Structure 1
């Protein structure tokens, strides 16, 4: 759901102009000083490689039903090969509803400086989409999981990638994809790469949907990072899901930060603010449940869920918090150092 977009060149939707321009101005001024202060530009990638990722566009119902009749599409991935020799660990990064954002660039610099390569997926441009923030019906949410699995097809063949050390990290809509990409059922049907992610790291995901067998996940750790006052994707639904996962004996942890709005890791770029996301859609008060045949139902109305339902609301908030962004950065880097056995 993350609504601000940063690309080179960047595109600003008209309905977002006043907030996006303000945020981009703050970020451009803060970028150099913040990055240097954190030491995240000490090392630069040895090279940047662009890869086409053959994928499909399906409805959520098709994905859940295992229907492979979707429309073929090619999305793109940017591999930033970290300095080092031999096969290196990789973090796959999945964007939110605003497309590939400035926070992803900050995380890429952090990981590259650690000797970890990054693979940034753009699931929108190849589908002719700029953003889905104000119209989430433009693309079924589970398509990003499809793109994530197909990214493993690309990485499995790369001579500089360690196939045993690939982690998945996503933000908002991409965080939701990063969370539910762990479902064993989805892997069995859609992941043809022969690889598994070493860990799943969702940031402020939407957890309002209950999928069938969603406590049956692959045997890999999940580390969720969320903000307490997030009114875009409330943390309460993720807490409920984490409780069910823990009851099933899964390796999952949720770290909740106070005073941290949706998109709080923009604080890595110095952004310390809270802004309205005008006309952005949020399902914060919806309960969505998978029914027979992959149909997603509104649990309140017992009718198929649509973005016209009364539970869908507008105008949530997004922002950055430098203090909690730095805390999250430290937690993630510590986790990956241990996971990837980095010195």
Structure 2
């Protein structure tokens, strides 16, 4: 491992330790580990072509164990949004720990030298976090404190898109370690404006999407259309919509709505994979990029107490049913 990667992991470890100490009064945590995950950085074309020979990178994750003992515990792996690991992820950590479920939050940015992709999404392929998620699942399946058969994947916004499409059987075949499988997929306000080859063929596990009807960052309509397509082949897929709720409706830190004036959004785009690895703008039929005219700037993020409470209850129900903590 290079000196730069070692320094990066030390910095992440210090951040994680401080975070753990800061939240120790809110949730039972008997052990916290910072675990390096060897991964690769792939462009979307490389990922969709099934390549695994991208630029090597070490991403780190924070594993929190809710209780002592020798039991192999259930786990929720979480993927952050375009802004990186934020307080809303910490809120969910505390909730899962209170249920007796371990948590692992992957930082897909720091090891790659990225702070945020909000204003420039081209810094990292849209599916890079899916690769990280599969590799984290493979590593944590061997952890003595984790039950490999009870691991759920959850993501938010950009991370939600990855959590959603990690359920594709095609992606699983190409990129996941044989014998490993997520127990469920939970996506909060994902971007569903992308259509991939064979995206109606998902693994036989529960898929849950949570989105607000007032989301002007990742509008609900494309996800609604995708779920309708999925339901022709899949039984256990659900989209839950919250009337009037916007993007990041579960983030308590956003009680005062924030305007992200330069945030890139594909809300008016349609990107389609027409052949393996080639994603085009559905309207122009040209290779899709963030310089396309359909890509706009400006979005609102805001907390919605009612939607957040209902979503937490719904997520708790699926986690209890699937993971049986």
> Normalised by the size of structure 2, how large is the TM-score?
0.91
* Secondary structure, aligned partner of 1:201: strand
Q: Of residues 224, 238, 248 in structure 1, which corresponds to 2:223?
A: 238
Q: 1:262-273 to 2 correspondence within 5 Å?
A: 262-267=247-252, 269=253, 271-273=254-256
- Residue 95 of structure 1: how far off its partner (Å): 0.2
Q: Of residues 53, 56, 62 in structure 2, which corresponds to 1:72?
A: 56
CA distance in structure 1 between the aligned counterparts of 2:280 and 2:36, rounded to whole angstroms:
34
Alignment root-mean-square deviation, CA: 1.9
Q: 1:145-160 to 2 correspondence within 5 Å?
A: 145-160=130-145
* Secondary structure, aligned partner of 2:302: strand
Q: Deviations over 1:24-45 (max 9, x none)?
A: xxxxxxxx9xx9xxxx966411
User: In 1, are the aligned partners of 2:52 and 2:175 still within 8 Å (CA)?
Assistant: no
Q: Structure 2: give runs of 5+ residues left out of the alignment.
A: 1-12, 17-21
CA distance in structure 1 between the aligned counterparts of 2:166 and 2:243, rounded to whole angstroms:
27
Q: Deviations over 1:149-200 (max 9, x none)?
A: 0001211111110111100100000000000000001111100152100000
Q: Which residue of 2 aligns with 1:251?
A: 236
- Kindly report structure 1 stretches of 4+ aligned residues shifted beyond 6 Å: 7-10
User: In 2, are the aligned partners of 1:149 and 1:190 still within 8 Å (CA)?
Assistant: yes
User: In 2, are the aligned partners of 1:46 and 1:83 still within 8 Å (CA)?
Assistant: yes
User: In 2, are the aligned partners of 1:273 and 1:319 still within 8 Å (CA)?
Assistant: yes
CA distance in structure 2 between the aligned counterparts of 1:217 and 1:163, rounded to whole angstroms:
20
CA distance in structure 2 between the aligned counterparts of 1:328 and 1:337, rounded to whole angstroms:
14
Q: Deviations over 1:277-326 (max 9, x none)?
A: 12000000000000224111000111000111110000111111122111
User: In 2, are the aligned partners of 1:88 and 1:161 still within 8 Å (CA)?
Assistant: yes
CA distance in structure 1 between the aligned counterparts of 2:32 and 2:248, rounded to whole angstroms:
26
- Residue 233 of structure 1: how far off its partner (Å): 0.3
Q: Which residue of 2 aligns with 1:89?
A: 74
Q: Of residues 144, 148, 173 in structure 2, which corresponds to 1:188?
A: 173
- Residue 103 of structure 1: how far off its partner (Å): 0.3
CA distance in structure 1 between the aligned counterparts of 2:307 and 2:167, rounded to whole angstroms:
26
CA distance in structure 2 between the aligned counterparts of 1:131 and 1:42, rounded to whole angstroms:
28
Cα 1:84–1:340 change in 2 (3 A) is farther
User: In 1, are the aligned partners of 2:192 and 2:218 still within 8 Å (CA)?
Assistant: yes
Q: Deviations over 1:83-106 (max 9, x none)?
A: 153011000000010000110000
- Residue 229 of structure 1: how far off its partner (Å): 0.5
* Secondary structure, aligned partner of 1:217: coil
Aligned residue pairs total 307
Q: Which residue of 2 aligns with 1:277?
A: 260
Q: Of residues 254, 270, 281 in structure 2, which corresponds to 1:287?
A: 270
* Secondary structure, aligned partner of 2:222: helix
* Secondary structure, aligned partner of 1:92: strand
Q: 1:124-273 to 2 correspondence within 5 Å?
A: 124-192=109-177, 194-267=179-252, 269=253, 271-273=254-256
The answer to which structure, 1 or 2, has the higher relative contact order (CA under 8 A, 6+ apart) is 1
> Normalised by the size of structure 1, how large is the TM-score?
0.86
- Residue 77 of structure 1: how far off its partner (Å): 0.9
* Secondary structure, aligned partner of 1:239: helix
- Residue 73 of structure 1: how far off its partner (Å): 0.6
Q: Of residues 72, 97, 100 in structure 2, which corresponds to 1:115?
A: 100
Q: Which moved more, 1:57-66 or 1:192-201?
A: 192-201
CA distance in structure 1 between the aligned counterparts of 2:61 and 2:196, rounded to whole angstroms:
28
Whether 1:52 and 2:36 are equivalent positions in the alignment is yes
